[in-house]
Structure 1
Amino acid sequence: MDSLITAAARALAAGDPLGALKHVALRDDAPALALRGIAMAQLGELDRAKMLLKSAARAFGSREAVARARCVVAEAEIALVSRELRWPTRALDTARATLEAHGDGLNAAHARNLELRRLLLIGRLDEAERILAGLAPIPLPPALAAARALAVAGIAIRRLRTGAARAALAEAGRAAIEAKIPALIAEVESASLVFSAPAARLVARGDERPLLLDEVEALLASGKLVVDACRNVVRDEKTIVPLATRPVLFALLRALAEAWPADVSRSTLLARAFRARHADESHRARLRVEMGRLRAELRTLADVRATKRGFALVPRHASEVVVLAPPVEEQHAAVLAFLADGESWSSSALAIALGLSPRTVQRALEQLAAAGKVQSYGRGPARRWMTPPVSDFPTTLLLPGPLPSG
């Protein structure tokens, strides 16, 4: 490897893409093309970066397996940043195996970090944890150590293990400062800000207040009966009853929980669950049926008792009933939560991350765009959606993922 290639590689490792381009900007050999592609990616010119990396992979040829694998890893990172979630992950697996087989442990570790970040993005926490548990404890350079610690923090945040998340963020911060890469330092700072922002609202006895993530963790372990409107479940310390697929039942339950220990009138329940302004006998009959279904769902946690004017929620074991609500509630909040990261997303990538149909996501984006909350650029398959970061939409409780076990 000649001196200019070496100097460009060192500049890229230090987060100085302009310095790297000064050494290789006029060269078209395979190593120079690869370094130029990485530099353009660091500068945000992702389309140009992808073209350069593909050209570099072709120029290296079949005999340069390690170099081609490094190009594939770089392409995977660009795909992740540009939210191309349909990018072929098998190519990354093959590249990582090639790097491991040829002793390039650092780039193989980088490939693992990319895999972890993608799994976090689409909410596959169990798989991400299995990968982390199987990794050998090898020393990593500061930049890779910071990225690994961010992945650990991301899992801990979504699992509501705030102590582990705080420790991982502190480790990431130390490693990022040691790496002296401004973009990495900014990423850690951004993650720390999200961690310290209000993650939910507590609604109890007619009052409400914001909760930090560690307060949410403490609430779920408090033994109270929690109606979780962030995930549409009801739970106490030991039992979780999901109601995400029963929106009418959850609407009734939330109305009862917000009024606890008082009861709720039938007219209020009809308006909340059925949006019925003028209730007739058919509405009242349906309310009785739905209350019977809700009583059956809650049989281990609470009873739903009829009163003279309506219904009341009576917990079986818990001493108090509270509602855990998102920090801001509006239609399509989950879409806004993803777009709040400041990156540009395609509607298909959002559909993968949210687990919804592409058409459902497209309708949501169109409604948000009409309200001036998101904007798009490009056309057809190249169309991307984005919005400036919104502090009222921390993604912690809105991103998909399993609940912490009781």
Structure 2
Amino acid sequence: MDSMITAAARALATGDPLGALKRVALRDDAAALALRGIAMAQLGDLARAKILLRQAARAFSPREAVARARCIVAEAEIALVSRDLSWPVKALEAAWAILEARGDRMNAAHARNLTIRRLLLIGHLDEAEHILADLDPSPLPPPARAAHELVVANIAVRRLQTENARNAFARARHAAGQAGIPALIAEIEDAARALDAPAARLIAADSDRLLMLEEVEALLASGDLVIDACRNGVRMGSTTVSLATRPVLFALARGLAEAWPADASRGALLSRAFRAKHADESHRARLRVEIGRLRAALRLVAEVRATKDGFALVPHESRRIAVLAPPVEEQHANVLALLADGEAWASSALAIALDASPRTVQRALEQLAATGKVQAVGRGRACRWMTPPLTTFPTILLLPGPLPGD
């Protein structure tokens, strides 16, 4: 490796893409193309960066497998930043295997971090933690170690483990300070704000107030019966009942919980669950059927008792009941929660992250665009959707993933 390539690589490692381009901008050899691609990515021109990295990967000879694998890892990072979740994951796995086998531990760890970050975006926390457990950050240089700790912190935030998250953010800040890269420091500070922003709204018999993430963790650990409207589930202690695929049952559970300690009238439950303005005998018959299903679903945590006017929710062990709701409740809140990261998302990537059909996501985006809550950038396959960050929006609890404690 000649001195100009070495100098350019060092400039990129310290977050100086312009310094790197000054050294290799006029060169077309494989190593220079790769460094130019990384520099363009750092400057934000992701389309040009992707082209340069692909050219570099083709230019390296078959004997330069490590260099080609590094190009694939860099392209995978661009795909992740541009929210191209359809990018071939198997290519990244193959690149990681080559880097690990050839002893390039730093880039192998970076490849693993990218895999974990992608899993976090689509809500596969268990898989992300499994990969993270096998990753040793001790030999990593400060920038890679900061990225590793940022992943650890993000998993802890999604798991509602606020103390672990704060410790991980502190370690990430320390490593980023050693690296001296302003963009990395800013990324960590931006992610850490989730710990100090409203995450949910508590609706109980004697209160209706905003909760920070730490307070949400305490509520879920309190043993009270919690109707979680952020994840559409019911929780008491270590027992969790998911109603995410049963919206009618969840609507009934929430209606009963908001009426507690009193009962909820049949008319109120019909209106909430079935949106029936004028209930007839068929509606009342269906309500009885759905209440029976709700009894069966909640048998481990509560009873649903019939009263003179309607039904009442009675938790086991005389526990209190609380409803955990998003600070802002509106249609398509889960789409807005993903877009609140400030990145430009493709509708196909949103569909992958939400595990929904592309047409369902497209309809949601069109409705949100009609009200000015999101905007489209580009056309056709290059179309991306984005929205300014909403500082009071529940970006953590509405993101895809298992219920806290699962």
Aligned residues: 406
1:326 corresponds in structure 2 to: 326
Write the deviation string for residues 324-383 of structure 1: whole angstroms up to 9, x where unpaired: 111211111111011111111111111111111111111111111111111112222221
- Secondary structure of 2:198 counterpart: coil
- Secondary structure of 1:123 counterpart: coil
Closer/same/farther in 2, CA of residues 67 and 301 from structure 1, 3 Å limit: same
Q: CA deviation at 1:157?
A: 1.1
- Secondary structure of 1:317 counterpart: helix
Contact 2:79 2:87 in 1 (8 A): yes
Q: CA deviation at 1:237?
A: 0.5
Counterpart of 1:168 in structure 2: which amino acid?
A: A
Counterparts of residues 164-179 of structure 1 (less than 5 Å): 164-179=164-179
Counterparts of residues 152-163 of structure 1 (less than 5 Å): 152-163=152-163
Counterparts of residues 156-235 of structure 1 (less than 5 Å): 156-205=156-205, 207-235=207-235
- Secondary structure of 2:304 counterpart: strand
2:259 corresponds in structure 1 to: 259
Counterparts of residues 256-405 of structure 1 (less than 5 Å): 256-405=256-405
Q: CA RMSD in A?
A: 1.3
CA–CA distance in structure 1, aligned partners of residues 108 and 318 of structure 2? 49
- Secondary structure of 2:208 counterpart: strand
2:72 corresponds in structure 1 to: 72
Counterpart of 2:100 in structure 1: which amino acid?
A: E
Contact 1:206 1:259 in 2 (8 A): no
Q: CA deviation at 1:139?
A: 2.0
Q: What runs of 5+ residues in structure 1 fail to find an aligned partner? A: none
Q: CA deviation at 1:405?
A: 3.0
CA–CA distance in structure 2, aligned partners of residues 64 and 107 of structure 1? 15
Contact 1:204 1:321 in 2 (8 A): yes
Q: CA deviation at 1:151?
A: 0.7
Contact 1:158 1:396 in 2 (8 A): yes
Q: CA deviation at 1:394?
A: 3.3
Q: CA deviation at 1:112?
A: 1.1
Contact 1:264 1:311 in 2 (8 A): yes
Query: TM-score, with normalisation over the residues of structure 1?
Result: 0.97
Closer/same/farther in 2, CA of residues 377 and 13 from structure 1, 3 Å limit: same
Contact 1:225 1:236 in 2 (8 A): yes
Contact 2:200 2:212 in 1 (8 A): yes
1:27 corresponds in structure 2 to: 27
Aligned pair 1:146/2:146, yes or no?
yes
Q: CA deviation at 1:51?
A: 0.7
Counterpart of 1:297 in structure 2: which amino acid?
A: A
Closer/same/farther in 2, CA of residues 377 and 73 from structure 1, 3 Å limit: same
CA–CA distance in structure 1, aligned partners of residues 32 and 81 of structure 2? 22
- Secondary structure of 1:48 counterpart: helix
Counterpart of 1:142 in structure 2: which amino acid?
A: P
Contact 1:224 1:318 in 2 (8 A): no
Contact 1:113 1:151 in 2 (8 A): yes
Counterpart of 1:290 in structure 2: which amino acid?
A: E
Q: CA deviation at 1:318?
A: 4.0
CA–CA distance in structure 2, aligned partners of residues 74 and 308 of structure 1? 66
Write the deviation string for residues 211-244 of structure 1: whole angstroms up to 9, x where unpaired: 1111111111111011111111112113211111
CA–CA distance in structure 2, aligned partners of residues 199 and 154 of structure 1? 15
Closer/same/farther in 2, CA of residues 271 and 206 from structure 1, 3 Å limit: farther
Q: What runs of 5+ residues in structure 2 fail to find an aligned partner? A: none
1:103 corresponds in structure 2 to: 103
Write the deviation string for residues 54-92 of structure 1: whole angstroms up to 9, x where unpaired: 111111121211111111111111011011111111111
CA–CA distance in structure 1, aligned partners of residues 80 and 105 of structure 2? 21
Contact 2:335 2:350 in 1 (8 A): yes
Q: Percent identity?
A: 73
- Secondary structure of 1:140 counterpart: coil
